[in-house]
Amino acid sequence: MTVSLDLIANPNILTLQQTAHSATTTLNSSVTSVELYRHGCDFADPAGHFASNCTLACQQPAAVWDSMATLHNCLSYGAVSTLLSTGGLSEKDEEKLLEMGYTKEANVTTIMDPIDQCMHGFCREETDSGECYAHGVHQFDPDNFIKGACGYFKASPNVDVGGVGVYVGYLMQLAILIYAYIHTRLLASWLQALTFAFYAPFKGLKRARQAAASVQERLKATHQQAALISGLVEFQRAQAFYSITLQAAAIASLSGNGRVFDAESYQQMHLTISLLGDIAATGIVCIAFGLYILHGWNKRSWYTTVLSIVGIGVSFAAWVQTRLPLNNLRVLSPVEHNLPACGGRSPATYCLEPQAQTNTPLEATLIALSLLTTLLLTIRHYHAYHNRILSIKQYPWRLELAEAAFAGITGLMIYTLISNGELDAMRQGVQWTFSQLISVTIWAPCIVEYFYAAVRKWSLGANAELKKLLEEEDSDEE
C-alpha cells in the first residue's frame, strides 16, 4: 500500500498538544497519509546561516523547540524514515522528503534523544516532583508527553491587562456604578420609605409621614443628589474615554501578530484575549448603566450621549473580535530557561488548553440589552431636544425597576470577572507595574470631585455643572 504525503505550507497556531497527537497519528502503522510541514525544517545554524534540513534541525534543541512545526517533523522522523526505506511512498513524494533532508537509514536515536533529554530536563527543573515524564519518546506516549510539558504549567493574563492593579481598576468602575445607584435611590426614596416603615408601627401613619417628609427635606438641604449627579457626569465621560482608548488599542493589537501582548506562552495569550473580551462586555454594560441613571434624572447632553455611544460601539467591536478565531496571534516572547537540552526554551511555551467561552451567551445577552437601552435613550434624547416630551419631574416606578435590573447586571459582571479563573496574577503576587498604578488611579478625579462637592458644597460655586444642577432643583421646587 502506497502512503501519500501531505505537505502543509502555512499552519495556523500549532500547540504542543496538537503536535503530540498529530505525531501519534503519523506513527500509526495503518496510516494512509503522512502530514508534514513544508517549512518545519527551516533553522539557523550557529553561524547564522539559514538552512532547511530535517536531519540537522532535529539534532539541534534550539531549532526543535523554536517551532512546533519542527517538533512535529522530528517526531515523525522514524515513520518517514521507515517509509523511505521500505518504498511505501511514491517516487515523487520520496524526492520531496529527500529534499527536506530526511534519510532512509537515519539513526532515529540521534533524532529522538534531544527531545527526550529536553522533556526529562524540564521535569527536573520546572516541576516539584521531577518525575512527570515517565516514558521516553522512543515509545512515544502523547498523554505522558503533554503531561510532562503542560500538566504542571500555570499561566495568567498579561499583567498590563490582568494584573492586580488593572483588575482593581475594573472592579472600581463597576463598584462606582453600584454605589451611585444605591446612593441615588437612598436619597430619592429609599430613606424616606424606610423612615415611614420604621415609624408607622409605633407613631401612627400621620406621624410616620411627617417624619419621612422631614427626612426628605433634610436630604434636599444637603444637596447630596446634585453632588452625586455632578460626579456621575464626569465619571460617565471618563469611563467612555477609558473604553474608547482601551478597546481601540485592543482592536489594533488583535489585528496584529500578537507581539504587543508580550505573551510568554500560547496559554497566556489565550487568557489575555479572553479577559479583553470580558472587559469589553463589562465596559458596554457600565456605560449603558451610567447613561441610564443620568437620563433618568434628566441630566443629559449630546456630548455625553455621543461619547457614550462611541465607547459602546468600540467596545462591542473589540468584544466580537475576541470571540473570533485569531490565528494571526502567533508571535510569542518566551522567557529564557535554564534548559540547555531544550535550547533554553520551556516546552510549556506552546501549551494551550482553550477553555470554552461559557460566559459568551450571557455576555451576548447583556450586550444586546445594553445596546437596545442605549438606542432607546438616544431616541428619547432626540425627542427631548426637539421639545416633543417634557422632562420627568418624578421618578416612575418603571425607571426604578429598570435601574434595579441594571444594578443586578452590574453585580453579575463583578461576579463574572472575579470567578472566571483569570485572577491568577493576583494570587501569584505579581509585582505592581506603572500601567497598573494608572489603572487604579484613573477614577480618582471623579471620586475626589464627588466627595469634595458632597462635603464642601459651598466651595464649589465655580463648578458650573453643580451650580446648574442646584439651580434646576430650586426652579423645580418653585
For the chain, the structural domain boundaries read 4-150, 159-477
Residue-wise pLDDT for 170-183, tens only, equals 888 888 888 888 88
How far apart CA 234 and CA 445 sit, in angstroms, is 9
Is the pTM for the entire model greater than 0.85?
no
Rg (CA), the chain: 31
Would the pLDDT of 139 be above 60?
A: no
Would the pLDDT of 136 be above 60?
A: no
**Cβ neighbours of residue 409 closer than 8 Å, sequence gap 6 or more:** 285, 289, 366, 369
**Which pLDDT belongs to residue 390?**
44
How far apart CA 476 and CA 182 sit, in angstroms, is 23
Greater model confidence, 142 or 199: 199
**Which pLDDT belongs to residue 308?**
94
Residue-wise pLDDT for 373-393, tens only, equals 899 888 888 877 666 544 444
Burial environment of residue 87 by CB neighbours within 10 A (0 to 12, 13 to 18, 19 or more) = exposed
DSSP β-ladder status, 33-37 and 4-8 = parallel
What three-state secondary structure class fits 50?
strand
CB distance 248 to 334 below 8 Å: no
Average pLDDT over residues 156-162: 77
